[in-house]
Copies of this chain bind each other. A is one copy, B any other.
Amino acid sequence: MKELEDRIRKDGRVLPGNILLVDSFLNQGLDARLMNQMALTWQEFYKDEPVTKIMTIEASGIALAVLTAYRFGVPALFAKKYATINLTDDRHQASVYSYTREKSYSIAVSRRLLTPDDHVLLVDDFLANGCAMAGLADLVREAGASVAGIGVAIEKSFQKGPDLLRERGLTICSLARIESLEEGRIVFGEADA
């Protein structure tokens, strides 16, 4: 998506450790107009899927999820993060490993809100190691529901997440694909839409 790539070139900042900071338009600062364009792009890409819900993980995916849900005319849903795993009967749960924090945390969603008849589009701002997205797919599977596909704003194709998810048979639509951030330079690959 050219408009997103242009914005990353203009306002993205590369920090040490292959970190791309987009907090002026995709996180903390939210460019609602640009995000709406992203939602429309996913709507076109997944137009043949009978999507019933848009799902993400708190907090940075929420804005993209709700704008996408508005465009699809379906509800959004976000999984909550918990530092520890407290098994309860009323929610679906999955474990996610964080490479940043070097420990696992738990994500969960109410059983009332995710049911076997759901066909879920998973969205998030970044796809890097893929652990959070794999956790969301685990929640959908635990609910007996199905994954319609994945919508990612920025894919870091040099990290293992994209391959890991595709090996699970999941379709990904990344709107910007970054092949390298070495030496502070942003190198784009070809995106899915």
Contacts and interface: CB of A to CB of B under 8 A. Distances in A.
Given A58-B59, A66-B67, A67-B67, A75 B28 contact: no
A77 B110 contact: no
A143 interface: no
A108 B58 CA distance: 18
A41 to B, nearest CB: 16
Contact of A63 (B23, B62, B80): B62
A183 to B, nearest CB: 24
A118 to B, nearest CB: 12
B109 A32 contact: no
Interface string A164-184: 000000000000000000000
B77 A32 contact: no
A35 B110 contact: no
Interface of A: 23-25, 28-33, 35-36, 58-59, 62-63, 65-67, 69-70, 73-78, 80, 109-110, 112-113
A69 to B, nearest CB: 4
Which secondary structure dominates where chain A touches chain B? Answer: mixed
B67 A24 contact: no
B32 A70 contact: yes
A77 B65 CA distance: 16
Nearest to A71: B32
Given A29-B110, A113-B28, A66 B69 contact: no
A33 B110 contact: no
A164 B110 CA distance: 34
